[in-house]
Amino acid sequence: MLFTSYEFLGFLLLLFFLYYIIPARHQWKLLLAAGYVFYAVSGWKNCLFILLTTGSTYILALRIDRIHREQAAYLKEHKKELSKEEKKSYKARNRSRQWRLLLTGLFMNFGILAVLKYTNFAIANVNALLSLTGSERQIGFVSFLLPLGISFYTFITMGYLIDVYRGKYPAETNPGKLALFVSFFPQLIQGPINRFDEMTETLFSEHRWNWQEISLGLERILWGFFKKLVIADRILVGVTTIVGDPETYDGIYVFVGMMFYALQLYADFTGGIDITVGIAQVLGIRVRENFIRPYFSKNIAEYWRRWHISLGAWFTEYIFYPVSVCQPMLKFSRFCKKHLGDHVGRRMPVYMASLAVWFTTGIWHGASWNFVVWGLLNGLIIILSQECEPLYDRFHRKFHVKDRFWYRLFQVVRTVLLMSSLRMLDCYRNVPLTFRMFGDMLIHSRLSQLFDGRLMSVGLTVSDYGVLAAGTVILTAVSLAGRKGSVRQQLAAGPAVVRCVLIYGLFLCTLIIGAYGVGYDSSQFIYNQF
């Protein structure tokens, strides 16, 4: 059930109607049922996997939390009787028990994800190694069901389990409420990756009809549909044609395809998140913002603080910090200080943890080497940029250009081009081909190629180009206006006539010039595949 299908719109209308007419104390139960109905539509077998993950997380979190509570009660009761060493020993034993429970949950659930998502990737690499050694033996590929949104709900549940282990908040005792947190359908297929303590305040609360919040939520949904149907699905045709025929579309068309994909990915992913946030707001629920004008970033590190924010926060909290301060890494840091110097020794944990994060980020996006290379290149560029910061500072102090508009614009354009170049690995899905096409773009690009007829053979008409140009202007204008706060709030504070005209115009544009697919169902959101 795609977000942009008629079935989903009917599903939403029915849910919104029931949500505000049933007793408010039962609203969370309706959302739980709606989540599983939504999920079952993609295949009832998928429900078995999400139930297994939810059930195992619920049981393990309760056991970990019980040890926390028993320890606190025991230490309070025997405060005067126990020596410092006895307390330390008692805490260590409990920590060991909790650690084993946590590892059980991590291995079980990440193991399910790894087997379902990465088995064929591993087999392909083993077969490649066998071929290199001259062996004719090949391992057959397997056909596994990949449940919808498994990467997202696995990260959500494992983040919750780790937080309970760390004692950030107690485990949820109601299995239905934990199941709702995991299966909340707007976030299920493309995020954001929300945290349990951030959502509990509104997810399980009773909500009354609030027209102001509902109208703002509906506007956010409409904005998401506009991005998806008018821009992303329209330009998808051009991206597919250019990337699918690299022999025909070479030279400057590699650059055109690269920029087309940058626009498509932004409109598609942020459009989906807009729909998610808007649905949640209509229901009175707050979820994380996942984007903050990423294409206005001045460097790649800032870009990743603005793009897919919840995923970056997850990797930072649950991979970067643990890896950078673990005992083996600290020992390695001391070794490097001794043999390679103090600076390298201090920075080495950061380097290694960053590369671990970016390797995981790449493999999370897809079980293929193009995503691994894409992730590692992001990490290497960020590390290199951090090491060059003293040079940047000297340059800025000498030439006083840091606050000049033209220089800031140069930084923004540089970042967009750099990120779009790296995204070519996502476009072509083949590492050697990507580097070949990148080189071809740099060496053989000519402006005259844009007028040789190929631009009109990628599946886009003159009117399509006009719509895309106008849509890009609108996206840019909204992003610029967003620097002063929520655009919807700004419109709400202005004249009602202006607000109505703009919203009605956006609705008509989406309805009339939206790019619809077969059966009037738009193409799948890009991040559904993860």
Dihedral angle at the C-alpha atoms of 509, 510, 515, 521, nearest 10 degrees? -160
Identity of residue 436: R
Say whether both 412 and 397 belong to one domain: yes
The chain-wide mean pLDDT, for the chain, equals 90
Residues in CB range of 163: below 8 A, 6 or more apart: 169, 195, 196, 197
Q: Work out the average pLDDT over 442-455.
A: 92
- Does the residue 1 lie in any domain? no
* Whether 427 contacts 365, CB under 8 Å: no
Q: Let me know if residue 5 belongs to a domain.
A: no
Are the C-beta atoms of 284 and 17 separated by less than 8 Å? Answer: no
In sequence order, what are the residues at sequence separation of 6 or more whose Cβ sits closer than 8 angstroms to the Cβ of residue 106?
158, 161
Q: Are residues 393 and 442 in the same domain?
A: no
In a domain, 10, yes or no: no
Domain limit, last residue, from 381, 407, 429: 429
Structure confidence at residue 493 (pLDDT): 86
- Residue where the block lists tokens 């380097």: 351
At 107, is the pLDDT very low, low, confident or very high (cuts 50, 70, 90)? very high
Q: Are residues 195 and 214 in the same domain?
A: no
pLDDT in tens, 337-392: 888 888 888 888 889 999 999 999 999 988 899 999 999 999 999 999 988 888 98
Pick left, alpha or beta for residue 171 (phi over 0 → left; psi -120 to 50 → alpha; otherwise beta): beta
Work out how many domains the chain is built from and give that number: 3
- Identify residue 300 by its one-letter amino acid code: I
Residue 521 has pLDDT above 50, yes or no: no
Q: Is-contact 42 153, C-beta < 8 A? A: no
Burial class of 251 by CB neighbour count within 10 A (0 to 12, 13 to 18, 19+): buried
Q: Which residue has the tokens 């419109």?
A: 491
Residue 521 DSSP symbol: -
Answer yes or no: are the C-beta atoms of 262 and 301 closer than 8 Å. no
Check whether 455 has a pLDDT greater than 80. yes
* Gyration radius of the chain over CA positions: 26
Residue for token pair 């790449």: 362
Residue 227 resides in a domain:
yes
Q: Encoding tokens for residue 409?
A: 């614009």
- Quick one: the chain helix, strand, coil %, rounded to 5? 80, 0, 20
Q: State how far Cα 204 lies from the chain centre.
A: 24
User: Could you tell me if residue 165 is inside a domain?
Assistant: yes
Q: What is the pTM of this model?
A: 0.91
Question: Mind listing the pLDDT tens digit for each residue in 194-242?
Answer: 999 989 889 999 999 999 999 999 999 999 999 999 999 999 999 999 9
The model's pLDDT over 394-433, given as tens digits with 9 standing for 90+, comes to 998 888 888 899 999 999 999 999 999 999 999 999 999 9
Return the number of other C-beta atoms located less than 10 Å from residue 209's C-beta.
10
Residue 353, amino acid:
A
Q: Are residues 25 and 144 in the same domain?
A: yes
Those residues with Cβ within 8 angstroms of residue 203's Cβ, 6 or more apart along the chain or in another chain: 28, 31, 177, 180, 181, 184, 285
Q: How confident is the model at residue 529, as a pLDDT?
A: 53
- Asked whether the beta carbons of 235 and 519 are under 8 A apart, the reply is no
Mean pLDDT of 4-23: 92
Q: How far apart are CA 247 and CA 428, in angstroms?
A: 12
Residues 341 and 249 in one domain: no
Other beta carbons within 10 angstroms of residue 183's beta carbon come to 24
Enumerate the H helices of 78-149 as residue ranges.
84-132
Q: Which residue in this structure is represented by tokens 């890494």? A: 329
Tokens representing 395?
């340059």
pLDDT band at 84 (very low <50, low <70, confident <90, very high): confident
58 and 204 inside one domain? yes
324 and 425, same structural domain?
A: yes
Domain range for 78 is 21-208
Helices 211-225, 496-513: inter-axial angle, 10-degree rounding? 40
Q: Is residue 516 part of a domain?
A: yes
Q: How far apart are CA 42 and CA 50, in angstroms?
A: 13
Range in 39-48, 86-95, 294-303, 460-469 the model is least confident about: 39-48
H-helix or E-strand containing 65? helix 44-77
Mean pLDDT, residues 251-258 taken together: 95
Which of 162, 182, 208 represents a domain boundary (last residue)? 208
What percentage of the chain has pLDDT greater than the value 90? 68
Residue 83 DSSP code: -
Rounded (10°) angle between helices 175-183 and 196-203: 110
Reply yes or no on whether the pLDDT at 519 is more than 50. no
Residues 425 and 457 in one domain: no
Whether residue 305 is found in the same domain as residue 362: yes
Structure tokens given for 98: 């909790």
Indicate if the pLDDT at residue 130 is higher than 90: no
Is 98 part of any domain? Answer: yes
- Nearest CA among 145, 163, 126 for reference residue 49: 145
Q: Please tell me whether residues 161 and 239 are part of one structural domain.
A: no
Is residue 12 one of the residues assigned to a domain? Answer: no
DSSP characters for 197-266? HHHHHHHSS-----HHHHHHHHHHHHHHHIIIIIIIHHHHHHHHHHHH-TTTS-THHHHHHHHHHHHHHH
pLDDT bin (cut points 50, 70, 90) of residue 176 is: very high
First to last CA, the chain: 16
pLDDT (average), residues 310-323: 92
Q: Looking at the structure, do residues 196 and 109 belong to the same domain, yes or no?
A: yes
Average pLDDT over residues 499-515: 89
- Picking from 299, 230, 297, the residue whose alpha carbon sits closest to that of residue 264 is 230
Determine the Cα–Cα distance for residues 424 and 442; give it in Å rounded to an integer: 13
Both 236 and 340 in one domain: the answer is no
Q: Which two tokens stand for residue 321?
A: 């910090």
Confidence of residue 516 (pLDDT cuts 50, 70, 90): low
Greatest distance between any 2 Cα atoms in the chain: 88
366 CB burial (10 A radius; 0-12, 13-18, 19+):
buried
User: What whole-number distance in Å separates Cα of residue 354 and Cα of residue 350?
Assistant: 6
Mark which of 187, 208, 229 sits at the end of a domain: 208
